[in-house]
Structure 1
Amino acid sequence: MQVYPNRFSLQDDSPLKPFYLIFGDEPQQKLECLERIRKTALQQGFDERQSLVVDNQFSWDSLIEATQTLSLFSNRQIIELELPTGKPGAEGSKVLSAIAQQVNPDVLLVIHGGKIGKDVQNTKWFKAVDKNAIYVPCYPLEGNALHQWLNQQMQLLGMQTSPQICQLLVDYCEGNLLAAKQEIQKLMLLYPNGDPTLEQVEQAVVDQSRFTVFHLIDVILSGDGQKTVKMLYRLESEGIEPNIILWALTREWQTLNGLLFDKQQGKNINWNQHRIWKNRQSLYQSALQRLSLENLQIIQTKLSEFDCAIKQSQILRPYVELCHLCLLFMPYPLDKLPLDYAV
């Protein structure tokens, strides 16, 4: 059964599932889910915890032994198995499928790792475990979901909520929920009454927003130029190589070009053919409404020029040029502005 983090709650007397699957690329939500399971399990007598990591030296025999052997000092135990890639391999799949068929009320197995896709969710081992499990996907929060999470955190810690303060925390901590929670905790230490002014919050918080190239692409597709510039600034400060962003922009140009060509030919878009999942289709639809084949031709020319120039080390400030390229996807009328690689 799938449950999103904001609806995943456990009380001390909540009946526990034999298995939990916690996957995603948002570390704060994953940590909160794991802590809820640990706390509830401890209250119910699972007073021993083992942590196993599936790496190059890992032996699946150790998991089999752990699930079948109880400690002399504990009647019940929780086993946390980290699957960094979400893929246990052939041997691991067999072991997990077998364990899923032998539910032990004295053993609680929590499997966690990075982001997984439908390919993993459709595997035999995942389906076998999921029959007696709760699956919690932990995705980065954006938009209303992020605002709701921040308001909830402020309320839990005794801080009065405010739309202006919430938006300020979004601007400073987007993509970094751990930093956002730490900032709220810091504000409660500075202002124990829980009612700081907007000016006081501005003075106290530090810009800790974190983004990835994938976040950047989604914002470009949505057409938010201001946020695109902010993300580029953060990616530059984090030392992300310009070539990585160039590769991502080129890939998106190819996808958009194919989609727009089909659209203008009167064909229905085959999202599966372009490997675009349902949760991202609205982003591409937004981009297709703004862009024409002429726009994409201009972008292709600029991408080609930038690629040649960066390979020849002609660009002193590549992120300025990348900003130019990204804004062409809005599209802003920048095509007449030359990319002066000599400057």
Structure 2
Amino acid sequence: MKDLENILKNIKNNILQPIYFFHGEEPYFMDVALKSLENDVLTEDEKTFNQTVVYGKDTTYAEVLALARQYPMMGGKQLIMVKEAQDMRLTEEEAEALLKYIDQPVAFSILVIAHKYKKVDSRKKFVKQLEKKSWLHYSEPVKDYQLSTWIQRKIHELGMKTAPNISHLLAEYLGNDLSRISNELNKLKLVMKEGQPLDGKLVELHIGISKDYNVFELQKALGTKDEEQAMRIAYYMGRNMKGHPLLLILGNLFNYFTNILLYHTLRGQPATVIASTMGVNPYFLKDYEQSANFYPMKHTTRVISILREMDMKSKGLGAYNVPDADLLVEMVYKILNVGKTKVKV
């Protein structure tokens, strides 16, 4: 949510909008804004009488607008919060009523609507009117290539120092579940001593991610054809497939080698163009260049075929019934031997 900082700052300074309509695929930013509205708009005494929280599956837009028009007890302002609004149906009649309310919101109510996990239809009149008044706030997912930067910023906000590549490690293993990432970082903050840097040992101890044996390091070892390290990681991860799901590994490696293939087709163009087309941080282009030297285009294509083959086997398609740990070792071995004399596994 691009305007989240301004929203939070204005709430703290009691500069409030009559309507906040949050929508989008990323729930984390909405939760942060909702928490601020719940905590900072009314005093604890005022909340008892003038703060109402309802859920989409239990209410309607007509009921919500009726609540917003009720005069608050003991004067002042009232806060009406609608959570899980994506579960509400909106009839044509309610859409018209909502549009009228947006045009003339009541002065004593702050109406907050959280429409999670998807965007609202931008063609609707009330949506256009909300946008026109700057009361519509889109919560956009953080793109994969932006995730490590986002994590590093959160670490900085918490006043923590880190060892190199920790944000990349967390991004690789925790994915783009921002709520989980935020919770894990807050837990780490509580257990860390003042001035202690966040390193691989702490991450492994408190989150369960090994700094040496994870999909990020496997990808790195395969990308540089470090056979000894790649096989060591494969055997280690194979002993704990529950903590290292094969489908997660396959997905990450598929994305990685697809980007190597894309890099081959873009070679010779400016770095900014290559990074933008690939959707990666320019910082990582040197890694892709190095891997592209180890894997010519035809070899990269063969690796992608191997990954598809392993995906099929892992899902039990065909006459395959091989444990995931064995499939992982087989996959790594085959990738490392692409371009060499054909061998049977």
TM-score exceeds 0.5: yes
Q: Is residue 282 from structure 1 mapped to residue 287 from structure 2 by the alignment?
A: no
Q: State the match for 2:40 in structure 1.
A: 40
Cα shift at 1:96: 3.9
1:317 is aligned to 2:323: yes
More helix by share: 2
Report deviation, 1:71. Answer: 4.6
One-letter amino acid of the structure 1 residue matched with residue 279 of structure 2 = S
Instruction: From the superposition, tell whether residues 86 and 69 of structure 1 become closer, same or farther in structure 2 (CA, over 3 Å).
Output: same
Partner of 2:152: 147
- Change in 2 beyond 3 A, CA 1:145/1:248: closer
Matched residue SS, 2:42: helix
* 1:38-87, Cα deviation, whole Å (9 max, x unpaired): 233115997322222223x5433222222222354564221222346599
- RMSD of equivalent CA atoms: 5.5
1:305 aligns with 2:295: no
- Please name the residue that 1:100 is paired with: 102
Change (3 A) 1:335 1:59: farther
Q: Measure, in 2, the Cα distance between the counterparts of 1:198 and 1:260.
A: 33
How far does residue 16 in structure 1 lie from its aligned partner after superposition? 0.6
TM-score, length-scaled by structure 1: 0.60
TM-score (norm 2): 0.59
SS of 1:15's partner is: coil
- 1:76/1:107 contact within 8 Å kept: yes
Deviations, residues 6-62 of structure 1 (Å, cap 9, x unaligned)? 88423543311122234456555443322222233115997322222223x543322
Match of 1:68 in 2: 69
Instruction: State the 1:303 CA deviation.
Output: 4.9
Letter in 2 for 1:53: Y
Identity over aligned pairs, percent: 11
Looking at CA atoms only, which structure, 1 or 2, has the larger radius of gyration? 2
Name the structure 1 match of 2:183. 178
Distance 1:98 1:27, change over 3 A: same
Deviation at 1:204, TM superposition (A): 9.7
3-state secondary structure, aligned to 1:10: helix
Alignment of 1:93-242 (within 5 A): 93-116=95-118, 120-121=121-122, 123-130=124-131, 131-133=133-135, 135=137, 137=139, 139-140=141-142, 142-154=147-159, 161-164=160-163, 168=166, 171=169, 174-175=174-175, 176-187=181-192, 191=193, 194-196=194-196, 202=202, 206-207=206-207, 237=242, 242=247
Structure 1 unaligned residues grouped into runs of 5+: 155-160, 210-215, 265-277
Is the partner of 2:188 in helix, strand or coil?
Answer: helix
The answer to whether the 8 A contact 1:21-1:112 is kept is: yes
Q: Report SS of the residue matched to 2:279.
A: helix
Q: Write the deviation string for residues 148-186 of structure 1: whole angstroms up to 9, x where unpaired.
A: 2211122xxxxxx4243x865774685521121122133
SS of alignment partner, residue 10 of structure 2: coil
Query: 2-side partners of 1:34 and 1:132: how far apart?
Result: 17
Name the CA shift for 1:121/1:296 in 2 (closer, same or farther; >3 Å): farther
Q: How many residues align?
A: 299
What SS does the aligned partner of 1:311 have?
Answer: coil
